[in-house]
Amino acid sequence: MSNGEEQATVKRSKVEVGALLAIVLVAGLYYVNRRWISPLGRQDLSRGGAHPLAPDFSLTDLSSRKLTPADYRGKVVLLNFWATWCGPCREEIPGFVDLQRKYRDQGLVVIGISMDDDPAPVREFYQRYRMNYPVAMGDDALAERFGGILGLPTTFVIRRDGHIYAKQMGAVDVETFEEAIKKLLGETGAAGN
Amino acid sequence: MKKIASCFVLVCLLSSLTAGQNPKPVVEARILLGTDAAHANTLVKAAVIAQIASGFHLNDNCPTLDYLIPTELELDVPKELSLEKVVYPKGQPMRFAFSDLPLSVYEGTLGVGVVLRVGRKVVPGVYTLQGKFAYQACNDHACLPPTSVPLTLAVKVVPRAVALKTLNADDFDRIKFD
């Protein structure tokens, strides 16, 4: 191969590498764009990665009872951030009522955190939908402690040892939660991935 | 090869900076005047044009269900002006998994019409009104909290002898003021 041909080959290789890098970059930017512009994209019940300890908090529920997650250590907790103005949230809640009824004796506790500004519509909803689990009023500070709540509903499934097993943003069929809950209820100790 | 690698590293760094920025808002809104100025003792038209991100919707100003948060324009006008009326568009009926009824919602681009009256004795000058376009957005399976876009509009009042020019005709064409 002559010197000129060799140089042409090297030049072509550089162009090919450059093109490949450009494709990788565009793909990466597309992913970033989708993730940030569509923060409410449906996410599967996220189980992967670390399982941090669920943040502690102390609230008073609608029945004026103190609500502290530490009191539920040893139980499986389904912690649901919602609001009365959120249609998908309202659709999900009857399923949570069923889950609570079905698995209460096995150690499930469902907790609702309403992000409404006013408790009045929350109380009305609580009674109309015969909610059978504690509901308290949340705020931005509490949402921040849970890593920021981008949209509603956002639901955390918490293991008996207090560690977050999964997080679901957006409404899903109750069966999705039931599968996770049954698994965790079947575990006796702190294990569970 | 070194140059290519350097460029790649630089581009990756720029990309990471981009990734760290705030996500694009679901609604972008601006307020416009239909003319470049106004005369005292006349009506002047303004419009709020809102662009809704694909996949999201806002509730109609008159929501289908009582628990839904309406889209609303709130304006604080200076004493030299008065608010005659606000004209909201009619929403489109859409079906969602969480509702048995079709809901009247806004998608894409919407225009809200505003009619202002300039006071009879207002002297030439610039008069600023403040406001906000308040909304609550959802997609098919999740909802964002209620929020608003701040708006500022400067209305220039000129002597009657000064002719007015039409502005933003395309935007005003989408609004049914009557």
Are residues A96 and A15 part of one domain?
no
Cα A163 to Cα B86: distance, rounded to the nearest angstrom: 51
Confidence (pLDDT) at B171: 93
* Class (C level, CATH) for B21-173: mainly beta
Residue A107 phi/psi, 5-degree rounding, is 110, 15
**By the 8 A CB rule, do A136 and A60 touch?**
yes
Cα A43 to Cα A41: distance, rounded to the nearest angstrom: 6
Residue from B11, B53, B10 nearest B28 by CA: B53
Are residues A85 and A12 part of one domain?
no
Looking at the 3D structure of chain A, how many domains does it have?
2
A84: buried, middle or exposed (CB in 10 Å: 19+, 13-18, 0-12)?
buried
- B19–A14 CB contact, under 8 Å: no
Answer whether A20 touches B (CB < 8 Å): no
Are residues A10 and A102 part of one domain?
no
Total length of chain A: 193
Q: How confident is the model at residue A37 (pLDDT cuts 50, 70, 90)?
A: very low
- A40–B141 CB contact, under 8 Å: yes
* Three-state secondary structure readout of A61-127: ECCCCEECHHHHCCCEEEEEEECCCCHHHHHHHHHHHHHHHHHHHHCEEEEEEECCCCHHHHHHHHH
B106: buried, middle or exposed (CB in 10 Å: 19+, 13-18, 0-12)?
buried
**By the 8 A CB rule, do A25 and B15 touch?**
yes
CA torsion, points B3, B6, B11, B14, in degrees to nearest 10? -140
Are residues A21 and A116 part of one domain?
no
Angle between helices A87-103 and A174-185 (to 10 degrees): 30
pTM assigned to the model: 0.80
A25: tokens are: 């970059």
Per-residue pLDDT tens digits for A8-32:
777 778 777 877 776 776 666 555 4
Are residues A30 and A89 part of one domain?
no
Domain span holding position A20: 1-38
**Residue A169, domain member (yes or no):** yes
- A17–B4 CB contact, under 8 Å: yes
Q: How confident is the model at residue B1 (pLDDT cuts 50, 70, 90)?
A: low
Per-residue pLDDT tens digits for A90-149:
999 999 999 999 999 999 999 999 999 999 999 999 999 999 999 999 999 999 999 999
Give the closest-approach CA distance of B131 to chain A in angstroms: 22
Per-residue pLDDT tens digits for B154-170:
999 999 999 999 999 99
Confidence (pLDDT) at A33: 45
A75: tokens are: 């139980």
Are residues A144 and A71 part of one domain?
yes
Are residues A73 and A11 part of one domain?
no
A17 → chain B, closest CA residue? B4
Cα-trace Rg, chain B: 21
- Tell me what percent of the residues of chain A surpass a pLDDT of 70: 82
Interface probe, candidates A11, A38, A149, chain B, greatest B C-beta count within 10 A: A38
Chain A residues whose CB is inside 8 A of the B65 CB are 87
**Residue A137, domain member (yes or no):** yes
**Residue A116, domain member (yes or no):** yes
Are residues A126 and A74 part of one domain?
yes
Chain A residues whose CB is inside 8 A of the B99 CB are 87, 91
Higher-confidence position of A46 and A69: A69
Are residues A65 and A30 part of one domain?
no
A11: tokens are: 């030049």
Cα B34 to Cα B171: distance, rounded to the nearest angstrom: 9
Per-residue pLDDT tens digits for B11-52:
555 555 555 455 688 999 999 999 999 999 999 999 999 999
Are residues A65 and A24 part of one domain?
no
Give the closest-approach CA distance of B15 to chain A in angstroms: 7
Per-residue pLDDT tens digits for A125-137:
999 999 999 999 9
Cα A145 to Cα A40: distance, rounded to the nearest angstrom: 19
Q: Return residues 161-180 of A near B (CB < 8 Å).
A: 169-172
The angle formed by the CA atoms of residues B156, B157 and B160, to the nearest 5 degrees, is 140
Question: What is the value of ipTM here, to two decimals?
Answer: 0.82
B137: tokens are: 């957005």
Tell me, what amino acid is at B120? R
Are residues A153 and A66 part of one domain?
yes
Answer whether B55 touches A (CB < 8 Å): yes
A31 → chain B, closest CA residue? B19
pLDDT higher than threshold 50 for residue B72: yes
Out of B69, B142, B146, closest to residue A169 by CB: B142
Are residues A105 and A14 part of one domain?
no
Q: How confident is the model at residue B4 (pLDDT cuts 50, 70, 90)?
A: low
Q: How confident is the model at residue B140 (pLDDT cuts 50, 70, 90)?
A: confident
Answer whether B13 touches A (CB < 8 Å): no
Chain B residues whose CB is inside 8 A of the A113 CB are none
| Cα-Cα-Cα-Cα dihedral sign, residues B72, B108, A36, A49 | positive
User: Is A85 in a helix, a strand, or coil?
Assistant: coil
CATH number (domain holding residue A79): 3.40.30.10
Answer left, alpha or beta for residue A147, where phi above 0 means left and psi between -120 and 50 means alpha.
Answer: left
Confidence (pLDDT) at A39: 41
